[in-house]
Amino acid sequence: DQQVKQNSPSLSVQEGRISILNCDYTNSMFDYFLWYKKYPAEGPTFLISISSIKDKNEDGRFTVFLNKSAKHLSLHIVPSQPGDSAVYFCAAGEVMRGADGLTFGKGTHLIIQP
Amino acid sequence: EPEVTQTPSHQVTQMGQEVILRCVPISNHLYFYWYRQILGQKVEFLVSFYNNEISEKSEIFDDQFSVERPDGSNFTLKIRSTKLEDSAMYFCASSRQGMNTEAFFGQGTRLTVV
């Protein structure tokens, strides 16, 4: 049962262009969403988050958009840089469940082409 | 910058043996987690720990697994009798305030059961 889905296993984008990574979720109880980036042989590192009371959160080159009615979120990276090549995980959780773990998607491997 | 550290980075064990994976969470964090990622699959939540007890655990976290915070700094995951299917990357994570703040992950321990 995939409560968090990242339907694109990989995405190739030219350096300098916009990268858009998508994520869908099915559990309507999720109200907190995060994006993690993972390099080979390292643990996931936090990128950006958004709570369900917002529809957009921006941090430098990274913007996350949330469409609650569609149960969809996306991560925009602009401009894309070679160091952005990594696997990006979408994760979701319920704030009121306190210490509960996150539910992760399978990840999207972003490849930035020079 | 504070970080979550995990030891060892790679553990090879024979089926049926017990293994202990070790983690040192970030010092002022209160919530601790274990996740795992089987090769080619998504990151899966195993267990969360708060106030010296398990807060939540997934279906994966059966009686073969246990967690402990033996002192003020370490957080361990024990697998009593390893199976081949326990082979995975195991990530420890910690967060300051549970779901309201992002979790910081360690670099992972690759467990190989032979």
- Residue A26's pLDDT is 95
Question: Tens of pLDDT along B7-25?
Answer: 999 999 999 999 999 999 9
CA-based nearest distance B112→chain A, Å? 15
Question: Amino acid identity of B11?
Answer: Q
Give the distance from CA B4 to its chain's centroid. Answer: 11
- Residue A113's pLDDT is 96
C-alpha–C-alpha distance, residues A29 and A42, integer Å = 30
- Residue B102's pLDDT is 80
For residue B88, what is the enclosing H or E element? strand B88-95
User: Which two tokens mark B53?
Assistant: 């007890």
Nearest CA in chain B to A100: B56
C-alpha–C-alpha distance, residues B47 and B78, integer Å = 12
**Which residues 30-69 of B have a C-beta within 8 angstroms of A?**
31, 33, 35, 41-50, 55-56, 58
CA torsion angle for B61, A99, B97, A105 (degrees, to 10)? Answer: 70
The verdict on a CB contact (< 8 Å) between B44 and A36 is: no
Please check the confidence at residue B2 and state whether its pLDDT lies above 90: no
Q: Which of A65-69, B34-38, B93-97 has the lowest mean pLDDT?
A: B93-97
CA-based nearest distance A35→chain B, Å? 10
| A84-113: b (≥16 Cβ within 10 Å) or e | bbbbbbbbbbbeebbbbbbbbbbbbebebe
Q: Counting beta carbons within 10 angstroms of the beta carbon of residue A36, is it exposed (0 to 12), middle (13 to 18) or buried (19 or more)? A: buried
Strands A32-38 and A86-93: antiparallel
Please check the confidence at residue B100 and state whether its pLDDT lies above 60: no
User: What average pLDDT does the segment B34-41 reach?
Assistant: 91
C-alpha–C-alpha distance, residues A4 and A17, integer Å = 26
* Count, residues in chain B: 114
The verdict on a CB contact (< 8 Å) between B105 and A45 is: yes
- Residue A99's pLDDT is 55
Positions in chain A whose pLDDT score sits under 70: 1, 97-99
Nearest to B70 by CA among B16, B25, B9: B25
Q: CA angle, A18 as apex, A87 and B40 as ends, to 5°?
A: 15
Question: Tens of pLDDT along B39-87?
Answer: 888 899 999 999 899 988 999 999 999 999 988 789 999 999 999 999 9
The mean pLDDT of chain A is: 92
All residues of chain A having their beta carbon less than 8 Å from the beta carbon of residue B46 are 101
- Residue A16's pLDDT is 97
Q: Which of A1, A100, A106 to mutate to test the interface with B (most CBs of B within 10 A)?
A: A100
Instruction: Name A24's Cβ contacts closer than 8 Å, sequence gap at least 6.
Output: A4, A5, A6, A7, A70, A71, A72
- Asked if the C-beta of B25 comes within 8 angstroms of chain A's C-beta atoms, the answer is no
All residues of chain A having their beta carbon less than 8 Å from the beta carbon of residue B99 are 32, 93-100
CA-based nearest distance A62→chain B, Å? 16
- Residue A42's pLDDT is 85
C-alpha–C-alpha distance, residues B54 and A100, integer Å = 10
The verdict on a CB contact (< 8 Å) between A99 and B55 is: yes
The verdict on a CB contact (< 8 Å) between B43 and A97 is: no
